Structure 1
Amino acid sequence: MKKGAIYLLQFAVLLLGFVVLTALIRLPLTEGRAVNLDLFHIYTDPFIMYGYATSIPFFFALFMAFKLLTYIGQSQLYSLDAIAAVIKMRYCVIVFSIFTFIAGVLIVLFHDKEDDPAGFISLCIMTILLSIFIAIMAFLFEKKIRKAIELKSKMA
């Protein structure tokens, strides 16, 4: 893969991380139930804190994706380090989808009766489906790398 394409993908990963981090910092200030709260109570709200805890595996998966792109740029795609990065990324995506599922269940159980949780629930479902798709792709990618390493070792 060309260096320019790898740099572009690394930039896209960094940009995605920056956008999500900005949203995590900015959105609680404008969210409906936190509009009348002070800064301390906004950021100590249990649901917002849960969102921050859920973002940890997301950012770790982004870091692993950046690391994998670095390995690709160094022509080390067929290495054990690349496999480890893909495995860690897959586990992070699975943990993220579990956290998202729990958030959806909590909203269904504890939402205000005047609020309609359908929008949040649909976002949870879409996020979980996307996470499952990414986890499956990571598994298939890992399998392909392992097969290539086996073929390479048999040739040598």
Structure 2
Amino acid sequence: MKKVTTLFLKIAVILMGIPVLALCIFLVPELGELAEQLLPEITYINFLVSIIFYASAIPFYFSLYQAFNLLRFIDKNNAFSVLSVNALKIIKNCAITISILHVFVLPLFYFYAELDDAPGVIFVGLVVPFASMVIAVFAAVLQKLLQEAIDIKSENDLTV
């Protein structure tokens, strides 16, 4: 049962990477061009927006890799280890990095909302930073709980 569950989660982790890859290929260049149209006075805004979005994809894929490693540790009955705590720490740091990078792009959403007279666009721009911070907090809580469980386990091993 546990192998089937972790296999399902591994497949889900792999499938989560496909839409982000498609967004990086198809949507990021269009967002760069849109930024260039919105802010023509800023010379390299197209490249700046593209770099920020592509740079946020790197920690996303790195955190997916760490989540995949975490599932491998569970398969090997090695979930309560320092390696799992480190994987959760890396996932937390990657989520914080993604959130910070996307906060830099929020003014672009503001300018687009002003141009199109659609204030809801700003909330769309807040989705990724907010979701990333929720993931970071969740990973931090799991990291702390796992570290406490490891500490209790090591105390119990010493009292035998």
- For structure 1, which segment, 87-96 or 51-60, has the greater mean C-alpha deviation from structure 2 after superposition? 51-60
Q: 1:122 to 1:81 in 2, by over 3 A?
A: same
1:56-109 Cα offsets, whole Å, 9 max, x none, are 11111111111111111111111011100000000000010011111113443x
Q: 1:101 to 1:31 in 2, by over 3 A?
A: closer
The answer (yes or no) to whether the contact 2:113–2:121 under 8 Å persists in 1 is no
The answer (yes or no) to whether the contact 1:97–1:128 under 8 Å persists in 2 is yes
Aligned to 2:107: 105
- For structure 1, which segment, 10-19 or 111-120, has the greater mean C-alpha deviation from structure 2 after superposition? 111-120
The answer (yes or no) to whether the contact 1:107–1:117 under 8 Å persists in 2 is no
Q: Give 5+ residue unaligned stretches, structure 1.
A: 35-43
Aligned to 2:21: 21
With normalisation by structure 1, the TM-score equals: 0.81
Distance, in Å, in 2 between the alignment partners of 1:139 and 1:118 is 33
Q: Give 5+ residue unaligned stretches, structure 2.
A: 35-45
With normalisation by structure 2, the TM-score equals: 0.79
Q: AA paired with 2:11?
A: F
Aligned to 2:94: 92
1:9-35 Cα offsets, whole Å, 9 max, x none, are 01111011012102211224666946x
Computed over aligned residues only, the root mean square deviation of the Cα atoms, in angstroms, reads 2.4
Aligned to 2:146: 145
Q: Percent same amino acid at aligned positions?
A: 32
Q: CA deviation at 1:117?
A: 6.7
The answer (yes or no) to whether the contact 1:90–1:138 under 8 Å persists in 2 is yes
The answer (yes or no) to whether the contact 2:113–2:120 under 8 Å persists in 1 is no
Distance, in Å, in 2 between the alignment partners of 1:139 and 1:52 is 25
Q: AA paired with 1:98?
A: I
1:90-138 Cα offsets, whole Å, 9 max, x none, are 0000010011111113443x65963457454212212222112111111
Q: AA paired with 1:152?
A: K
Aligned length: 146
The answer (yes or no) to whether the contact 2:32–2:50 under 8 Å persists in 1 is no
Aligned mate of 1:80, from 82, 97, 102 = 82
- For structure 1, which segment, 2-11 or 118-127, has the greater mean C-alpha deviation from structure 2 after superposition? 118-127
Distance, in Å, in 1 between the alignment partners of 2:69 and 2:88 is 10
SS of alignment partner, residue 78 of structure 2: coil
Q: AA paired with 1:4?
A: V
Q: 1:64 to 1:118 in 2, by over 3 A?
A: farther
